[in-house]
């Protein structure tokens, strides 16, 4: 059972928001809209039961989690490979794999039941560009090198850098979705970022829906 809220009924329904079919979501997701809506439907059906999302997250699943995952898409490379470290239920990795089918996407997650869920998602959505890795990111050091790494709600930036930068190919990018304390995290991680080969660090403020709810994307580029 899931809830679909057509744009015309927004604001006049008490039903929880699961998929919002409005021009903004269509524009952000483009051709991936249908697949992403299907993914949101799966998460709404089973996410709470399987411990993937908290019950309080259901009413804001679409905007706060699914659509929010698209905030990093504009910083991804044109081609190459992507690893979403600590992808959990598939955020942002599944959304990005749907939006950018030309990228080779690696979803990295150590928790077995989350991996089982991701396997079902990959099969259901026919995601041919996705590979699953049932391990911690550190276990892939020296075995996997990608053009970009994404991470959302995984660890503070200094720890995240240690976990993820060894996976980033020279000239590649780490894209970390962060909250309001992004600038503090960047200053605290300064030394470790330099030591691990970061050449440029920027904080992008993305107001995806134009409603003032800003997502901060820390972009760390590594030397070529
Ligand atoms: C708070 S959840 C966030 C999940 C998802 N990225 C999201 O935004 O909803 C953090 C996830 O990171 C995973 N994780 C923690 N440490 C990790 C590591 N060293 N390597 C890979 N994944 C890790 C956890 O198992 C968990 O699924």
- pLDDT tens-place string over residues 155-204: 999 999 999 999 999 999 999 999 999 999 999 999 999 999 999 999 99
Residue 21 CA to ligand 1 centre (angstroms):
29
Residue of 86, 97, 159 to test ligand 1 pocket, by largest number of atoms within 8 Å of CB: 86
Which structural domain, as residue segments, surrounds residue 208? 4-222
What does the block give as tokens for 177?
Answer: 């979705």
C-alpha 142/C-alpha 123 separation (Å) is: 28
- pLDDT tens-place string over residues 1-58: 444 455 444 444 455 568 889 999 999 999 999 999 999 999 999 999 999 998 888 8
In this structure, which residue's CA is closest to atom 1 in ligand 1?
153
- pLDDT tens-place string over residues 91-143: 999 999 999 999 999 999 999 999 999 999 999 999 999 999 999 999 999 99
Q: Is the CB of 111 under 6 A from ligand 1?
A: yes
Give buried/exposed letters for 152-183 (b at 16+ CB in 10 A, else e): bebbebeebbbbbbbbbbeebbbbbbbeeebe
pLDDT at site 17: 65
C-alpha 161/C-alpha 89 separation (Å) is: 22
User: What CATH number does residue 68 fall under?
Assistant: 3.40.50.150
Residue pair 20/2 in contact (Cβ under 8 Å)? The answer is no
Residue of 47, 62, 72, 110 to test ligand 1 pocket, by largest number of atoms within 8 Å of CB: 110
Q: Is the CB of 87 under 6 A from ligand 1?
A: yes
Query: CA–CA distance from 83 to each of 63, 68, 88, 93, 219 (Å)?
Result: 23, 18, 13, 8, 15
Considering only CA atoms, which of 164, 160, 163 is closest in space to residue 172? Answer: 164
C-alpha 79/C-alpha 61 separation (Å) is: 29
**What count of other Cβ atoms lies within 10 Å of the Cβ of residue 32?**
19
DSSP-H helix ranges across 11-70 = 23-29, 33-46
C-alpha 85/C-alpha 24 separation (Å) is: 28
C-alpha 89/C-alpha 81 separation (Å) is: 20
In this structure, which residue's CA is closest to atom 7 in ligand 1?
91
Q: Is the CB of 119 under 6 A from ligand 1?
A: no
Residue 136 CA: nearest ligand 1 atom is 20
C-alpha 193/C-alpha 200 separation (Å) is: 9
Token pair 């990795």: residue: 93
Q: Is the CB of 176 under 6 A from ligand 1?
A: no
pLDDT at site 9: 47
Q: Based on the number of CB atoms within 10 Å of its own CB, is 40 exposed (0-12), middle (13-18) or buried (19 or more)?
A: buried
Q: Is the CB of 182 under 6 A from ligand 1?
A: no
pLDDT at site 10: 47
User: What is the number of structural domains in the chain?
Assistant: 1
């Amino acid at each position: 059972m899931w809830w679909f809220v057509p744009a015309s009924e927004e604001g006049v329904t008490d039903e929880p928001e699961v998929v919002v079919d409005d021009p903004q979501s269509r524009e952000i997701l483009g051709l991936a809209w249908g697949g992403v809506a299907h993914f949101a439907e799966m998460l709404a059906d089973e996410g709470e039961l399987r411990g993937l999302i908290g019950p309080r997250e259901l009413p804001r699943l679409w905007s706060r989690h699914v659509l929010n995952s698209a905030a990093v898409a504009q910083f991804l490379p044109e081609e190459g490979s992507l690893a979403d470290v600590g992808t959990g239920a598939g955020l942002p990795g599944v959304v990005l794999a749907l939006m950018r089918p030309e990228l080779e996407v690696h979803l990295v997650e150590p928790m077995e039941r989350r991996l089982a869920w991701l396997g079902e998602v990959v099969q259901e959505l026919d995601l041919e560009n996705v590979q699953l890795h049932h391990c911690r990111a550190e276990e892939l050091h020296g075995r996997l090198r990608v053009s970009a790494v994404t991470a959302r709600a995984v660890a503070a930036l200094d720890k995240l850098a240690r976990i993820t930068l060894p996976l980033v190919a020279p000239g590649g990018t780490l894209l970390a979705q962060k909250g309001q304390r992004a600038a503090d995290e960047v200053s605290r991680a300064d030394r470790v970022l330099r030591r691990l080969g970061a050449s440029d660090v920027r904080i992008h403020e993305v107001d995806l829906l134009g409603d003032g709810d800003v997502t901060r994307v820390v972009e760390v580029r590594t030397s070529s």
